[in-house]
């Protein structure tokens, strides 16, 4: 495919890797914020192409992984009700709530459906006037325009049997929260290319300045990631802390204005609880007053549900980049994709799942070698 295959070329990748080796003189810790980037790094083994001094930390870039347990439980509660068609993106189905997950609800008879696009739910609502259609609106700023458009159109069509459980999260507040944590070792960021495609990168200038960290807006293909790393390292080596745009073929400084307009129309900024991290102020999107009629929490009376997060799962520490997946004692033993303890093992973009899938054998062999 054009604009895809060229960015996976082995020779170009090696060239970029060589250049990174050439300019790196000190150890650096760099965080990538997007789950898609984490996945690409582990799948293509990009971190193995980098010099040992560069430590890639996997950030909370997987929206499925950071959806609060509370919200999953609310989803489960709604999905189990008769007469509800509960719609979600595929990944959410196996994420464990406090006790069960959507897939199990489906197996017990709940009408849970996978949708590719939120607009599909409107069609379902129109085709099933006697049922309640509920959409699980999860995602970063990248997905927010799609959800916004869906709500906007639902309002225009005056749909009475449609509502959504909103769980959108925003990246910049999360980055701030991470940087202001005392244990934070992150020295540079690869910002999420598609989030910035929608939102632009204005919001990152104050962060770069306040914490003196270089931030490079980066794409998802191997070459994008390597070039992004190179640009961050170049800045770090020369003591700069600026915002740069590697993914310029898709990202403009101001972002996508029509999309932002609709987001502002349909949503308002709210505090949001991030699974494994806790509540981060002003880090989420919720429905604005004008569209509150579509809020599933209110409609189904689950707004008051409160849940304690189980402590065995260390996904919070993984999401904050404090530990790597294989450093969690449950990794590969109690916690596997077949029976996950946390969301990072379920989602295809979760760091734990990526490590399990692509790295498990070497990690197990390394551990075995160390013991002998």
Binding site for another protein (CB under 8 A): 1-4, 6-10, 12-16, 19, 43-46, 48-49, 89-90, 113-120, 139, 142-143, 145-146, 149, 152-153, 194, 197-198, 222-224, 227, 246, 248-252, 256, 258-259, 336-338, 348, 357-362, 365
Q: How far is the CB of 82 from another protein (least distance, A)?
A: 18
Residues 6+ apart with CB under 8 A from 173: 280, 281, 282, 283
Q: How far is the CB of 137 from another protein (least distance, A)?
A: 11
| Alpha carbons 40 and 225: distance in angstroms, whole number | 9
162-169: strand order across its sheet: 111-114, 84-88, 132-139, 162-169, 278-287, 267-274
Residue among 48, 44, 39, 33 at smallest CA distance from 232: 33
Nearer to another protein, 49 or 236 (CB): 49
| Token couple for 211 | 């914490």
Q: How far is the CB of 332 from another protein (least distance, A)?
A: 12
For 220, 349, 360, the CA distances from 41, given in Å and listed in that order, are 9, 11, 15
The 3-state secondary structure of 93-136 reads HHCCCCCCCHHHHHHCCCEEEECCCCHHHHHHHHHCCCCEEEEE
Nearer to another protein, 263 or 328 (CB): 263
Nearer to another protein, 235 or 256 (CB): 256
Nearer to another protein, 237 or 365 (CB): 365
Q: How far is the CB of 46 from another protein (least distance, A)?
A: 7
| Alpha carbons 135 and 142: distance in angstroms, whole number | 17
Nearer to another protein, 115 or 323 (CB): 115
Nearer to another protein, 67 or 143 (CB): 143
Q: How far is the CB of 270 from another protein (least distance, A)?
A: 22
Q: How far is the CB of 211 from another protein (least distance, A)?
A: 27
Strand partners, 287: 267
């Amino acid at each position: 495919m054009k604009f895809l295959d060229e960015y996976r070329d082995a020779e170009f990748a090696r060239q970029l890797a060589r250049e990174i080796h050439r300019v790196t003189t000190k150890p650096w810790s760099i965080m990538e914020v997007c789950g898609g980037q984490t996945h690409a790094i582990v799948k293509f083994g990009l971190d193995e192409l980098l010099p040992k001094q560069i430590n890639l930390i996997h950030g909370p870039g997987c929206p499925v992984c950071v959806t609060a347990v509370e919200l999953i439980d609310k989803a489960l509660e709604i999905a189990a009700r008769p007469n509800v068609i509960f719609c979600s993106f595929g990944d959410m189905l196996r994420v464990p709530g406090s006790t069960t997950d959507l897939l199990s609800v489906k197996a017990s008879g709940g009408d849970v459906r996978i949708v590719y696009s939120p607009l599909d739910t409107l069609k379902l609502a129109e085709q099933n006037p006697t049922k309640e259609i509920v959409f699980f609106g999860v995602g970063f700023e990248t997905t927010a325009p799609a959800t916004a458009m869906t709500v906007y159109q639902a309002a225009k069509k005056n749909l009475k049997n449609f509502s959504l459980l909103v769980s959108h999260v925003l990246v910049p507040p999360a980055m701030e929260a991470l940087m202001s944590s005392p244990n934070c070792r992150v020295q540079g960021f690869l910002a999420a290319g598609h989030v910035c495609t929608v939102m632009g990168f204005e919001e990152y200038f104050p962060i770069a300045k306040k914490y003196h960290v270089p931030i490079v807006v980066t794409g998802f293909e191997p070459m994008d990631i390597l070039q992004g790393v190179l640009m961050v390292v170049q800045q770090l080596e020369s003591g700069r802390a600026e915002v740069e745009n590697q993914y310029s073929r898709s990202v403009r400084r101001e972002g996508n204005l029509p999309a932002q307009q609709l987001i502002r129309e349909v949503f308002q900024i709210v505090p949001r609880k991030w699974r494994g991290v806790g509540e981060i102020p002003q880090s989420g999107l919720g429905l604005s007053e004008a569209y509150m009629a579509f809020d599933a929490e209110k409609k189904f009376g689950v707004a008051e549900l409160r849940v304690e997060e189980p402590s065995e799962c260390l996904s919070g520490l993984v999401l904050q980049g404090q530990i790597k997946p294989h450093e969690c004692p449950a990794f590969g033993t109690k916690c596997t994709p077949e029976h996950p303890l946390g969301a990072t093992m379920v989602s295809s973009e979760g760091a734990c799942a990526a490590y399990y899938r692509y790295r498990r054998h070497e990690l197990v062999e390394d551990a075995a070698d160390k013991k002998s």
